């Protein structure tokens, strides 16, 4: 694995399959040898193998004893997901250290004793709250519009020590809203995070999945180290697509965020398509946010990014 993950990532040195299989023996059935360098690996086009690897990683590195997701639901790549968490922690740390913003937050009585985070579209895996709680001891509210995802996420939370008091799942009953019905009066969140639906239609999502599988299977073993941090398997409708795709979803999020500008320090969202950044920045200016940051994340050979905005830090709009 590339060492371009976040410096704090536990996955910068690659996967120790010997250790991972010892802590989760079912992974043994999927371990093979890469014919190009004779190193241990798995077939990353096999969703069962990826699920076994994820379980082993969560058990070995994050003290999660029970974790599973139903067939057909999104299987998240652990290294990429925890990278987002690390960069969010950096954003919070920079905010706290900055004298000007620290003064503003102090005047508004915003404290950092207990960091509270809202995960939009947590999915059945509940992966961001799990990682954020285990790495940084953050508290989470995890929302989703899919009842089964909420049910499975709750089962994972109840089955693992220390999660029930730190993660609360909430069902979004109105698909037309993101924060409405989820953020309650008098609640305050230091961060929101989201991995938005990428595609504009089910057909587009299926075509994207087919291309991904075709590219992977052209040369499985030669390319797996490049792809292993970025693969997703499965995915329900709300996980993969929405009308208007990623851009429309984020624009709706920005518009709705203005209603909660005093209840959230940093709104954030992953942006898969670089070409969408310009339109997103225009939407943020229209919403009259105070500050914008665009934060790049290198994950293997892939560059991803998330955008962060705030209404509470009364400064000039900036980007980084």
Q: Could you please report the per-residue DSSP string of 240-273?
A: HB-TTHHHHHHHHHHHHHGGGTTTEEEEEEE---
Q: Is residue 3 in a domain? A: no
**pLDDT bucket at 104, cuts 50 / 70 / 90:** confident
Ranking 38-47, 141-150, 220-229, 270-279 by mean pLDDT, the lowest is 220-229
Compute the mean pLDDT over every residue in the chain, rounded to the nearest whole number: 86
Domain that holds residue 280: 70-310
Nearest partner of 291 among 270, 259, 268, judged by Cα: 268
User: Is 159's pLDDT higher than 90?
Assistant: yes
User: Is 243's pLDDT higher than 50?
Assistant: yes
- Say how far apart CA 12 and CA 91 lie, in whole Å: 21
- Say how far apart CA 283 and CA 44 lie, in whole Å: 38
Over residues 269-295, the mean pLDDT reads 96
**pLDDT bucket at 242, cuts 50 / 70 / 90:** low
Helices (H), the chain: 17-23, 47-62, 78-97, 99-107, 127-136, 147-159, 202-218, 220-227, 237-240, 245-257, 277-286
- Say how far apart CA 243 and CA 238 lie, in whole Å: 10
Q: Is residue 30 in a domain? A: no
Exposure on the CB side of residue 310, measured as CA atoms within 13 A: 21
The encoded tokens of residue 45 equal 């086009």
- Say how far apart CA 208 and CA 22 lie, in whole Å: 35
Q: pLDDT value at position 234?
A: 52
Q: Is residue 316 in a domain? A: no
Work out how many domains the chain is built from and give that number.
1
Residue predicted with more confidence, 275 or 237:
275
Count of CB atoms within 10 A of residue 42's CB?
Answer: 22
Q: pLDDT value at position 233?
A: 46
**pLDDT bucket at 11, cuts 50 / 70 / 90:** very high
- Say how far apart CA 22 and CA 87 lie, in whole Å: 31
Q: For helices 127-136 and 47-62, what crossing angle results, to 10°?
A: 20
Task: Give the CATH number, domain containing residue 254.
Answer: 3.40.50.150
Residue predicted with more confidence, 241 or 105:
105
Q: pLDDT value at position 222?
A: 43
Q: pLDDT value at position 297?
A: 93
Q: pLDDT value at position 300?
A: 67
Count of CB atoms within 10 A of residue 223's CB?
Answer: 15
User: Is 289's pLDDT higher than 70?
Assistant: yes
Q: Is residue 93 in a domain? A: yes
Residue predicted with more confidence, 17 or 235:
17
Tell me the pLDDT tens digit for each residue of 179-229. Answer: 999 999 999 999 999 999 864 544 554 444 444 444 545 545 444 444 344
Q: pLDDT value at position 47?
A: 87
Q: Is residue 169 in a domain? A: yes
Residue predicted with more confidence, 144 or 242:
144
Q: Is residue 42 in a domain? A: no
The encoded tokens of residue 100 equal 């000007």
> Largest Cα–Cα distance in the chain?
61
Over residues 288-307, the mean pLDDT reads 89
Over residues 146-158, the mean pLDDT reads 97
**pLDDT bucket at 100, cuts 50 / 70 / 90:** confident
Q: Is residue 54 in a domain? A: no
Over residues 45-66, the mean pLDDT reads 95
- Say how far apart CA 207 and CA 209 lie, in whole Å: 5
Which residues, 6+ apart, have CB-to-CB distance to 155 below 8 Å? none
Q: Is residue 14 in a domain? A: no
User: Is 78's pLDDT higher than 90?
Assistant: yes
């Amino acid at each position: 694995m590339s060492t371009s993950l976040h410096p704090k990532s536990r996955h910068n040195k690659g996967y120790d399959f010997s250790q991972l299989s010892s802590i989760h023996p079912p992974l043994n059935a999927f371990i093979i040898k890469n014919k190009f360098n004779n190193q241990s690996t798995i077939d990353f086009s096999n969703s069962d193998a990826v699920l076994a690897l994820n379980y082993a990683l969560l058990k070995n590195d994050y003290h999660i004893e029970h974790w599973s997701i139903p067939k057909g639901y999104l299987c998240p790549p652990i290294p990429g997901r925890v990278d987002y968490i690390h960069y969010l922690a950096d954003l919070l740390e920079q905010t706290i250290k900055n004298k000007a913003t620290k003064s503003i937050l102090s005047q508004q009585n915003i404290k950092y004793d207990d960091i509270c985070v809202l995960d939009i579209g947590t999915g059945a895996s509940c992966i961001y709250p799990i990682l954020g709680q285990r790495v940084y001891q953050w508290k989470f509210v995890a929302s989703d519009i899919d009842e089964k995802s909420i049910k499975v996420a709750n089962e994972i939370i109840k089955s693992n020590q220390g999660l029930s008091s730190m993660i609360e799942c909430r069902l979004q009953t109105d698909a037309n809203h993101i924060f409405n019905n989820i953020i309650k009066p008098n609640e305050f969140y230091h961060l929101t995070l989201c991995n938005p639906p990428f595609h504009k239609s089910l057909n587009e999502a299926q075509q994207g999945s087919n291309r991904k599988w075709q590219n992977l299977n052209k040369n499985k073993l030669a390319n797996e180290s490049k792809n292993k941090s970025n693969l997703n398997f499965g995915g329900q409708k709300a996980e993969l697509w929405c009308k208007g795709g990623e851009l429309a979803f984020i624009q709706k999020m920005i518009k709705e965020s203005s209603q909660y500008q005093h209840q959230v320090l940093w709104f954030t969202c992953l942006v898969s398509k670089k070409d969408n950044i310009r339109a997103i920045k225009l939407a943020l200016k229209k919403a009259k946010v105070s500050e914008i940051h665009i934060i790049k994340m290198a994950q293997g050979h892939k560059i991803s990014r998330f955008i962060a905005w705030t209404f509470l830090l009364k400064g000039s709009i900036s980007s980084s």
